[in-house]
Amino acid sequence: MINPIGSETLNPLFVSDDNQRNALIEEAKSLPSVLVSSATAANAVMLAGGYFNPLTGYMNLADALSIAETMKTTSGGFFPVPILNLVDSVEAIGEAKRIALLDPNVEGNPVIAIQDIDAIETVNDAQMALMTEKVYATSDPEHPGVEAFNAQGRIAISGPIQVLNYSYFETEFANTFRTAVQIREDIKQRGWQRVVAFQTRNPMHLAHEELCHMAMNRLNCDGLVIHMLLGKLKPGDIPADVRDDAIRTMVKLYFAENSAMVTGYGFDMLYAGPREAVLHAYFRQNMGATHFIIGRDHAGVGDYYGAFDAQTIFDDQVPEGALDIEIFRADHTAWSKKLDRVVMMNEAPDHTREDFVLLSGTKVREMLGQGIAPPKEFSRPEVAEILINYYHSLA
């Protein structure tokens, strides 16, 4: 099996020993506490599950700035984006060197982790602007990732953490949420050697399904991990439970037994385009995938990124040798009226746009909201039925 990044085995930060975890929960009652941002809580979940191996906690400012510039820490370790604990105030901390981090996404704000404080540093406007521009390739406040990142505080608390739970992901998505450790074990038990991962924050229509089949066949893979984002999205995106139902239905009906695994991870979408594509590849290697599908405008939003920027970043910005996982580069896939099947559009040079079945997201949502299933060349009828029922529930 492919090795994780930076170590021979994963080092998840979740405290798995019940006695130790209970003792830490008790200790947290006597510690100063800080209500962290949703992004910080989601990063704790990713650290807990081994996805961000070999990180041990939140970065200091020097490392965060270095990563923003070069995707390397000051000591040369590779990581694609800053992982920070940014807060508005540290008044409650005082001289404490150990604090409890409170989860903003669960009622009652329970302790999600305990952090040892290495440093408390103020992030100035220029430093925040640099990280924003380097990671998101824009400083436009209308960009949802830029808005969320800059809505956090300006005080960075760095240091290692011990994670006590997986926030709401393990309870609300019990059948889907899996840690990198669990996925590695599942891959091992299934006997898969070559594994391709597919990222999604949306339901999978026929083109997505066929793209996965293409990748499996061309890469000679034993298995596919459909790995969906379960965290916060932007308004208008399909909720995770609806996506989960639609994807599981598709896999059950249209994939061979023991060829596809449906899982999810707890993280807030960054919409950072190319940088987020590298992050996606990073933690897919940690979960055991040997290959990762990156298509047109991967992890993008609006018109902020070029169609294939999320692919070319692996050629000109990712440090050589930083990743062992291989990228499967895909173009937009669509049904060809000429060939009567789904193809990658760049592999059909004799086609015009009119030769494909193409529907905008807006058009598809309108059809589903009116109870009209998209054509069979666009969406499986069983998937369309689930989405129609969801849109009817909003009426």
Q: What's the half-sphere exposure (Cβ side, CA atoms, 13 Å) at 129?
A: 3
Residue 202 falls in the annotated catalytic set: yes
On whether the CB atoms of residues 293 and 12 are closer than 8 A, the answer is: no
Residue closest to 102 by CA, chosen among 13, 165, 16: 165
Residue closest to 162 by CA, chosen among 117, 116, 119: 116
Name every residue whose Cβ is closer than 8 Å to that of residue 63 and which is 6 or more positions away in sequence.
73, 74, 82, 158
User: CA dist 110 to 14, 31, 168, Å?
Assistant: 15, 13, 11
Cα angle for residues 226, 228, 231 (degrees, 5° grid): 165
Q: Kindly provide the b/e burial profile for residues 40-79, where b requires at least 16 CB atoms within 10 angstroms of the residue's own CB.
A: bbbbbbbbbbbbbbebebbbbbebbbbbbeebebeeebbb
Structure tokens at 301: 């939003």
Residue 3 falls in the annotated catalytic set: no
Q: Check residue 319 and report its DSSP letter.
A: P
Q: Indicate which residue of 21, 201, 248, 329 is catalytic.
A: 201
Q: Indicate which residue of 11, 202, 346, 365 is catalytic.
A: 202
Measured from the Cβ of residue 372, the count of other Cβ atoms closer than 10 Å reads: 12
Q: Per the omega criterion (within 30 degrees of 0), is the bond before 54 cis?
A: yes
- The C-alpha atoms of residue 119 and residue 101 are separated, in whole angstroms, by 15
User: Alpha helices of the chain — where are they, by DSSP H?
Assistant: 18-28, 38-48, 61-70, 125-136, 144-150, 169-172, 180-190, 206-219, 240-254, 274-286, 309-316, 361-369, 381-394
User: CA dist 233 to 3, 212, 229, 310, Å?
Assistant: 30, 23, 9, 19
Query: Annotated catalytic sites, by residue?
Result: 201-202
